[in-house]
Structure 1
Amino acid sequence: MFYSALRWTEATQVSPFADVKPVRDKTAAWDKRSPYREEEVTALLEQADPRMKALLLLCAHGGLRISEALALEWNEVQLAAGELLVQSGKGGKARRVVVGKSLIQALETVRSEGAVIGGSYPAAVERLQRLCTRAGVPCRGYHALRHYAGTRLTREGASLDDVARHLGHSVLETARIYAKWSDEGLRRRMAGW
């Protein structure tokens, strides 16, 4: 950046790092962002207050991104229909998300006006870090809860199309990473060989 600034000011034409290439990381991207395990999610839910429990379940069961969960408004939640509408999805795309019994119950306990959860991203991160410390769970961030949702769906036999639709992936291939984390089915099939 220093030499870029010097070239921009026309102080030099030298570009000593033009041929330098970064070392390629050989660790696959999905190995760096592993999901929370079932027992970790359970421990977090046991330690969470009602509002935090709803936020955890929006991400871990609903598969919402943290930005989607914080922006969710009550007029987008239809508990009787068992779904919610994510209007502020990635890339401005909207999607319907089917919700289960535990998420419905958690949302019913925090019902109010306006935002379902609301608040800022930094505050939500701080709350998750404190909760993880209290529960004795390594903090992997909110996106690992989303990965948990995809992995759990895959483990329970959902098709890649269903996983991609639930998580709002525009490309089906993106959902394949959850199959990598969910290899219990393959282990069961191979056990008798």
Structure 2
Amino acid sequence: MSTSSTVAEVVTGYADHLRSRDVSEHTARAYVADVSDFLDHAVHSTKLRRGSEEGRRSTTSGARIDLASVELDDLRSWLITLDDAGAAKSTVARKIAAVRSFFAYGVSNLGLSNNPAARLRTPKKDSRLPTVLKPQQAADLISAADGQRTGGTDASDSAAGGARTGDTAQGDTDKSDPLDAAKRIRDAAILEMLYATAIRVSELTGLDRSDIDHRASMITVLGKGDKERRVPFGAPARRALDDWLAARELFAGPHSGDALFLGVRGGRIGARQVRELVHRYGSDDPSAPDIGPHGLRHSAATHMLDRGADLRQIQELLGHSTMSSTQIYTQVSMQRLQDTYRRAHPRA
């Protein structure tokens, strides 16, 4: 492919390149969208500068672009439009990483002589501390799946419920229904495992039964960059997991394979379903923040640090490649200490 091609050809080639590099699906999708956004800006800004009415009417995907003619000012112009639109610094930083990757691909694969994005400066991200639960709030959320508070069904469960469970209106549940009981057992096991292991939601949904070492109470997790790590879990999670494995056959079907957690249709449960169930079982405590699976991960790491865990051990548990990602939890713990001091000390 030459440096002058249609936008659609360029984007397709870059997407194929990312797949060949074994980039995660989430990152690849974001990078392709970011590059498409820049190319759209580049094509239309160039045509409007030329005063082409045809350019105003043409679709971006069919337009041609000469990547060799893209300059640093074109990229800066794009970033200015993002800033004017109120894009977060973290979003801009990701988009810069995407176009750097794209033009590096252009240099190595399309014959570009230089990477104009290499000179872009990444904005300093806003220092925002992760939202975490207090230990009792986390315990309340996890215990909510025992059937005392069942708010509704997740998306795939609702879609399949009419055929298999006869779910009643407004998400009410029939506690005599074995499948409904199994669903609560599954949800309890998911919540226990998320908090006990502090794994990512994608890591949880990717677990197979063969990844569980019951004797050692450990799971083998495939993390970012296809890096494996072993993660321990405690007695409450082990009991919840054993209960789910005994009930799993109620969900299992021809397409279940060895997947650990299943939806009611028998397929591997998805990340969106897990996020929805975490929100659904949120604490009744009005002071508790509404968190998702990643909030449970943050909470587990913070609670371990508060109880004296070594930062290096937390890094290994979470699967962070660098210590800088883990050190944010020391800031969370310090913030909690300061808040407690201000509330409790008579001379704070």
User: Take 1:120 and 1:50, find their aligned partners in 2: how far apart are those partners?
Assistant: 17
One-letter code aligned to 1:129: H
| Residues 185, 244 of structure 2: 8 Å contact kept | yes
Matched, 1:47 2:144: yes
- Give the superposition deviation at 1:120: 1.2
Which residues of structure 2 form unaligned runs of 5+? 1-36, 52-73, 90-124, 146-183, 250-257, 262-267
Distance 1:173 1:133, change over 3 A: closer
Question: Within 1, Cα distance between the matches of 2:244 and 2:187?
Answer: 10
Equivalence for 1:169: 320
Matches of 1:13 and 1:155, distance apart in 2: 61
Once the two structures are superposed, residues 108-148 of structure 1 have per-residue CA deviations (whole angstroms, 9 ceiling, x without a partner) of 11114722223112222222222227776542211010001
- Corresponding residue for residue 56 of structure 1: 191
Q: Distance in 2 between matches of 1:152 and 1:13?
A: 59
How far apart are residue 40 of structure 1 and its match? Answer: 1.9
CA distance in 1, matches of 2:328, 2:275: 24
Change over 3 Å in CA distance of 1:92–1:51 after alignment to 2:
same
How many Å separate the matches in 2 of 1:174 and 1:6?
A: 38
SS of aligned partner of 1:139: coil
The aligned residue for residue 297 of structure 2 is 146
Match of 2:128 in 1: 29
> What is the CA RMSD across the aligned residues, in angstroms?
3.1
> Is the alpha carbon distance of 1:54 and 1:152 closer, same or farther for their aligned partners in structure 2, counting shifts above 3 Å?
same
Within a 5 Å distance, the mapping from 1:126-145 to structure 2 comes to: 126-132=276-282, 137-145=288-296
Q: Name the % identity.
A: 24
Does structure 2 conserve the Cα–Cα contact (< 8 Å) formed by 1:61 and 1:149? Answer: yes
1:96 aligns with 2:247: no
Note if 1:116 corresponds to 2:263. Answer: no
Q: What residue in structure 1 maps to residue 149 of structure 2?
A: none
Which residue identity does 1:115 align to in structure 2? A
Q: Distance in 2 between matches of 1:85 and 1:178?
A: 24
Identify the range of structure 1 (116-125 vs 138-147) with the bigger mean alpha-carbon deviation: 116-125
Q: Which residue of 1 aligns with 2:42?
A: 4
Over 3 Å counting, the alpha-carbon distance change for 1:12 and 1:144 in structure 2 is same
The aligned amino acid for 2:225 is: G
Amino acid at match of 2:312: D
Amino acid at match of 1:154: L
Aligned to 2:330: 179
Counterparts of 2:202 and 2:212, CA distance in 1: 16
Q: Would the aligned equivalents of 1:128 and 1:139 in 2 still touch at CA under 8 Å?
A: no
The answer to whether the Cα contact below 8 Å between 2:131 and 2:289 also exists between their aligned partners in 1 is: no
The separation in 2 between residues aligned to 1:134 and 1:181, in whole angstroms, is 23
User: Which amino acid is the alignment partner of residue 190 of structure 2?
Assistant: L
**Which residue is 2:239 aligned to?**
105
Tell me which of the two structures has the higher relative contact order, counting C-alpha pairs closer than 8 angstroms and 6 or more residues apart. Answer: 1
Q: Residue 122 and residue 135 in structure 1: after superposition, are their counterparts in 2 closer, same or farther (change >3 A)?
A: farther
TM-superposed CA distance for 1:4, in Å, is 2.7
- Point out the structure with the larger helix share: 2
Counterpart amino acid of residue 275 in structure 2: V
1:29 shift after superposition: 2.7
1:61 alignment partner, SS class: helix
TM-score, normalised on structure 2?
A: 0.47
